[in-house]
Amino acid sequence: MSIVEARATKHFLGLKGVSASEIASILDRAAYWEQYPTKVTNHLQGKFTANLFFENSTRTRFSFELAQKRLGAEVLNFSAAESSVQKGESIYDTVRTLESMGIDAGVIRLKPIGVLAELAERIKVPLINAGDGNNEHPTQALLDLYTMRKHFGDLKGLTVSIIGDILHSRVARSNLWALQTMGAKVQFCAPVNMQAPELAEHAPYVSFEQALAADVVMMLRVQLERHEHGMLRSAEEYREHYGLTAERVARMAPHAIIMHPAPVNRNVEIDDEIVEHEKSKIFTQIANGVPIRMAVIERTLS
């Protein structure tokens, strides 16, 4: 399904092809919700939303639930481990079941590549991508852009280094598409076996030294659960070559910030003492996830 077709059915699948004005309007609406004086509103009273997580999550799942509850929507939480998926029911039959019960929107996270696109062809109720294999994680990128825009005032002209396990990262892909649309320059830094060759035509791979000179140093989690055997020789070796240590942070520009989508592997891609360093925006990113997801849910359901 193309982005245009997806928009016609109101699915929110990704940021590739989404216009700068649409991204800016979501960021602006998130700013509205961040400033909103009361914690709970009745904007989506009477709407039923289901969180369909077929892969583990803490930040995305709970911030979607907070966002839904703050908007006054009813929330159904589905966990694959406690569902009929354990009896062999397919992802399609599960989502179709919730649709036939009358939910108004589904927030969905999936591990297998390509399944969300297939679901979006067959399911009429709007689906919001909460993490789709290694393809896209659009609300994560939007909260990242929101965090950068809030810190720097504008995204245009920023240089953003995305460092680490690019190959398996849906966060890297969604950030790449959205940041470039908004006029930022994206560069990657990764070990050769964690590079995504198909992205090289969109953004250059640079050395760690060059990556550290950026306005934003965005570290990625090493996604061990997606690795083929032997991809990571040791945590120590990874940290030595690609970890954000205090010594490397000292070489960053004074105005630059550190980001990471979390969860973090402490002392692998980022040192323990850097997680809450004064340059780190990691917990600010997490906080910004709630207003961003309010804006996305509202847009999908209005």
- List the binding residues for L-aspartate: 87, 170, 221
133 forms part of the interface with ligand CP (CB under 6 A): no
Q: Which of 24-32, 54-62, 83-91, 212-220 is the region at the interface with ligand CP (rule: CB under 6 A)?
A: 54-62
Q: Mask of contacts with ligand CP, 56-85, x by CB under 6 A? A: -xxxx-------------------------
CB of 53 to ligand CP, least distance (A): 9
CB of 42 to ligand CP, least distance (A): 27
Q: Binding ligand CP by CB under 6 A: which of 261, 288, 294, 300?
A: 261
CB of 70 to ligand CP, least distance (A): 18
> Of the two residues 233 and 276, which places its CB atom closer to ligand CP in the complex?
276
Q: Which of 1-9, 95-103, 174-182, 261-269 is the region at the interface with ligand CP (rule: CB under 6 A)?
A: 261-269
- CA-nearest of 130, 6, 104 to 50 is 104
> Of the two residues 149 and 170, which places its CB atom closer to ligand CP in the complex?
170
Q: Which of 24-32, 150-158, 244-252, 256-264 is the region at the interface with ligand CP (rule: CB under 6 A)?
A: 256-264
> Of the two residues 60 and 68, which places its CB atom closer to ligand CP in the complex?
60
CB of 27 to ligand CP, least distance (A): 18
Q: Binding ligand CP by CB under 6 A: which of 51, 94, 134, 140?
A: 140
131 forms part of the interface with ligand CP (CB under 6 A): yes
Largest CA distance in the chain: 56
**With the CA atoms of 239, 164, 57 and 136 taken in that order, what torsion angle do they form, in degrees rounded to the nearest 10?**
180
Q: Binding ligand CP by CB under 6 A: which of 262, 277, 279, 299?
A: 262
> Of the two residues 60 and 134, which places its CB atom closer to ligand CP in the complex?
60
Q: Which of 22-30, 115-123, 260-268, 274-282 is the region at the interface with ligand CP (rule: CB under 6 A)?
A: 260-268
Q: Which of 66-74, 201-209, 242-250, 257-265 is the region at the interface with ligand CP (rule: CB under 6 A)?
A: 257-265
CB of 203 to ligand CP, least distance (A): 21
CB of 143 to ligand CP, least distance (A): 9
Put the strands of the sheet holding 257-259 in their side by side order: 185-189, 159-163, 216-219, 257-259
User: Are the C-beta atoms of 55 and 31 separated by less than 8 Å?
Assistant: no
In this structure, what token pair is assigned to residue 187? Answer: 């560069």
Contacting residues toward ligand CP, per CB under 6 A: 57-60, 131, 140, 261-263
